[in-house]
């Protein structure tokens, strides 16, 4: 009887891993607090295969845009084997926002916590402070650009102008 109880406790503990609820959030301008309409929000769940030697591939990608109040809602994934979701938000003229990393130095976000209504504050992109090349590489990293098994058409479309800017910068330097 005791064994079954322990087994049940262990099962209940582990069964909650990998079940990711609906993501809701509000995207605002960090200076004015005004909601940002039309920001592209990309959420990706990945799956790591193997034990010891591993590889990762995309499990599910959802792309959407914020409404006039800057709000976004994305359905969760209920699969105990997937990794926690990565969220990236992009709006032209702003620094891309990612739930795991900070721009420009890729510092890991230690203060990020999942809440019922994520407050996503976007900082304006300062051309005098940052390069488009660094920003594009940050976005590519954030959206797992090129991860096998995933299509991110909407995000790729909206960042294309910035990719060209990055290319111009590189060619100027060389």
Binding region for other proteins (CB under 8 A):
1-4, 6, 46, 48-50, 52-57, 106, 133, 137, 140-141, 144-148, 163-164, 167, 170-171, 174
Least Cβ distance, residue 3 to other proteins (angstroms): 4
The runs of H, that is alpha helices, within 86-152 are 132-142
Where would I find the H helices in the chain?
2-15, 132-142, 153-173
Residue among 66 and 144 whose Cβ is closer to other proteins: 144
Tell me the closest approach of the beta carbon of residue 90 to other proteins, in angstroms.
17
66 versus 142: smaller Cβ distance to other proteins:
142
Nearer to other proteins, 67 or 100 (CB): 100
Which letter does DSSP use for residue 113 in this model? -
Residue 19's contacts (CB-CB under 8 Å, 6 or more residues apart) are: 76, 77, 78, 79, 80
First to last CA, the chain: 72
Q: How far is the CB of 73 from other proteins (least distance, A)?
A: 26
**CB of 14: closest distance to other proteins in angstroms?**
12
Contact between 68 and 37 under an 8 Å Cβ cutoff? The reply is: yes
């Amino acid at each position: 009887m005791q064994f079954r109880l322990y087994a049940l406790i262990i099962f209940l503990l582990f069964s909650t891993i990998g079940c990711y609820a609906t993501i809701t959030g509000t995207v605002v301008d960090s200076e004015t607090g005004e909601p940002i309409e039309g920001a592209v929000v990309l959420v990706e769940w990945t799956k790591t295969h193997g034990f010891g030697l591993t590889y990762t591939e995309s499990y599910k990608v959802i792309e959407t845009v914020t409404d006039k109040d800057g709000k976004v809602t994305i359905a969760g994934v209920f699969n105990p084997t997937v990794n926690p979701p990565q969220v990236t938000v992009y709006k032209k003229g702003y620094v891309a926002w990612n739930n795991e990393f900070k721009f420009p130095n890729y510092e890991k976000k230690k203060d990020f916590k999942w809440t019922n209504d994520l407050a996503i504050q976007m900082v304006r992109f300062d051309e005098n402070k940052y390069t488009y090349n660094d920003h594009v590489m940050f976005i590519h990293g954030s959206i797992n650009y090129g991860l096998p098994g995933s299509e991110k058409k909407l995000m790729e479309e909206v960042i294309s102008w910035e990719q060209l800017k990055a290319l111009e910068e590189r060619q100027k330097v060389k």
